[in-house]
Amino acid sequence: MPAFDAFGPEKIIRVYDPKSGMKGVIVIDNTRRGVGKGGIRMTGSVSENEVMRLARTMTWKNAMADLPFGGAKAGIFADPKTLTPQKKKQLIEAFGRALKGIAPSLYVAGPDINTTEKEMGQIAIAAGSRKVCTGKPSRMGGIPHELGSTGFGVAHSTMLALNYLGMNPSDARVAIEGYGNVGTFVHQYLSQWGVPVSAVSDSSGVIIDTHGLDYERLMNVKKEFGSVTRYRGKHARKGNNILTAPANVLVTAAIPDLVTMQNVNQVKHKLVVQGSNISMSPGVEHRLHARGTLIIPDFVANAGGVISSYVEHIGGKPPQMFRMVESKIKKNVNLLFKEMDRTHLSPRDAAMRIAMERVKSGKWNGPRN
């Protein structure tokens, strides 16, 4: 049974299209600050409970980013790996038609796992309105998430956390879990800023080089072979567990529940930056915090994507988006550190205090650009 509290969810909308067989769910968690905003996840394992958890994360993320959005999320119950491109398009278009009457009055969609600017374009056309989603192709007035807004924000969060810990960026050794739209851009920006990335994983395995993986070469390998493990280098070797790869910083950038009570003792990093949503439970976070690990929570670290969505929503362009992502991430991560120092709370509890107060007030204090 769904769990409800004083914050939500306000609505759980189950959608079905008998012709295509599309089944999905839209969770509107909280709209006190504005229309519900969150991406559409399309996987074979996504569940209503997972979508609810993600919708609540979006409530906190939008509030922590100080945007005039509430929290929401959607899921399409299908595994794209088992679908033909035409069948996936049919399901996406059916979901777009199901948004009529829901978006954009209650919900504004966006990309998530297995949905990109291409799918957002299909959804906008099927729904009959470009306002129903963000992350659309640029030809439709969109700011595609493929520009790397989330990874850009995660990279800034990592740099701020290193500074907070007093760590020299060149002394960091970063392991990135997931080498998709978030992880690749985290690697790109950290490399540009002098932070060595010593390990990267994707669904095929882990590649390790304690001297630092070359971003350009790894990207070329990923594009050519579809797997980071095909990377070759003088010091490179394969691994099978990103949590135990040699690193003092872990950036999560793909799957939920990466760290659990069963494997939490494998995490020896000084810093964990949650580039992915719900990469661990609050209980796991508190255990790591008690051991002295600094954790930047997901709804703080990876807010770049939804900040980009807001800029698109108000008709802005990519240069404005990158400026706003940088300024808001820096402002809110530093605000988190101040709240931690003031209250001696864990990072999540300190961030939650800030976000909850913003949701309760229902007010938006942020600039429009």
| Segment 196-248, tens digit of pLDDT | 999 999 999 999 999 999 999 999 999 999 999 999 988 999 999 999 999 99
Whether 250 is in a domain gets the answer yes
Phi then psi for residue 15, to 5 deg, are -120, 150
Is 73 a residue of the active site?
A: yes
Low-confidence residues of the chain, pLDDT below 50? 1, 368-369
Total structural domains in the chain? Answer: 2
Residues 131 and 179 in one domain: no
Whether 273 is in a domain gets the answer yes
Whether 98 is in a domain gets the answer yes
Owning domain of residue 162: 149-301
For residue 206, give the CATH number of its domain: 3.40.50.720
Last residue of a domain, one of 301, 322, 343: 301
Residue 84 CB-density burial (10 A; 0-12 exposed, 13-18 middle, 19+ buried): exposed
Residues 92 and 16 in one domain: yes
| Separation of CA 287 from chain center | 22
Whether 313 is in a domain gets the answer no
Residues 113 and 223 in one domain: no
Per-residue pLDDT, 369:
42
Whether 53 is in a domain gets the answer yes
Per-residue pLDDT, 365:
59
C-alpha span between 263 and 258 (Å, rounded) = 9
Residues 182 and 296 in one domain: yes
Residues 259 and 220 in one domain: yes
Residue pair 133/123 in contact by the 8 Å Cβ criterion: yes
Candidates 11, 19, 37, 73; catalytic one: 73
DSSP state of 239: E
